[in-house]
Structure 1
Amino acid sequence: MVKARTSAAELVESGHVRVNGVRETSPGHAIKIGDVLTIALDRTVRVMKVVAFNERRGDANSARVLYEELGERKA
């Protein structure tokens, strides 16, 4: 969703991320396979389900197979 971990942490700290419907404010919160993330970003809201994890950091293309897009709408 964002390119850098610091940007992701800022989204979480500012209350723009929900995990399984609950607002998350701690960037270090553990995510597990099956969790549903709701992210408010750039005037849209994206909902996705975590389906896998990578052993190492990768590019955007390899990240796309790690979640299932459940929905997107304009905020």
Structure 2
Amino acid sequence: MTEACRVDVWLWRARFARTRSAAAAMVEDGRMRLTHRGVQTRLDKPSRSVHVGDVLLFSAGTRLMEVEVLAFGERRGPAEEARSLWRDVAPPAAG
């Protein structure tokens, strides 16, 4: 079983980016924060690893996303399969 996955690969498989290069650009632009074992860091390289249970905080379009990594996936599959790789942990918007 795989214990870690490159963050750019995971973002691509989870369908947060259309291409791996777009996922890499999200990370390189400094728009990504990772919480691993309770410590939050800013990701700066697409080759950084994510683990099951990690939380990623990033902007997706106009929306701020905070998602927990549930699985890595084996491929970039359909949206339903991609949705099973993460869980939204952002607090609901006040309204």
TM-score normalised to the size of structure 1?
A: 0.85
2:89 is paired with a residue whose SS is strand
What does 1:50-65 align with in structure 2 at a 5 Å threshold? 50-65=69-84
Normalized per residue, the structure richer in strand is 1
Match of 2:34 among 6, 19, 23: 19
Note the aligned Cα RMSD (angstroms).
1.5
1:9 is paired with a residue whose SS is helix
Runs of 4+ in 1 over 2 A off after TM superposition: none
Identity of aligned residues (%): 33
Q: Which has the higher contact order (CA 8 A, sep 6+)?
A: 2
How many residues in Structure 1 have an aligned counterpart in Structure 2? 73
Match of 1:28 among 25, 30, 47: 47
Any unmatched runs of 5+ in structure 1? none
TM-score normalised to the size of structure 2?
A: 0.69
Any unmatched runs of 5+ in structure 2? 1-15
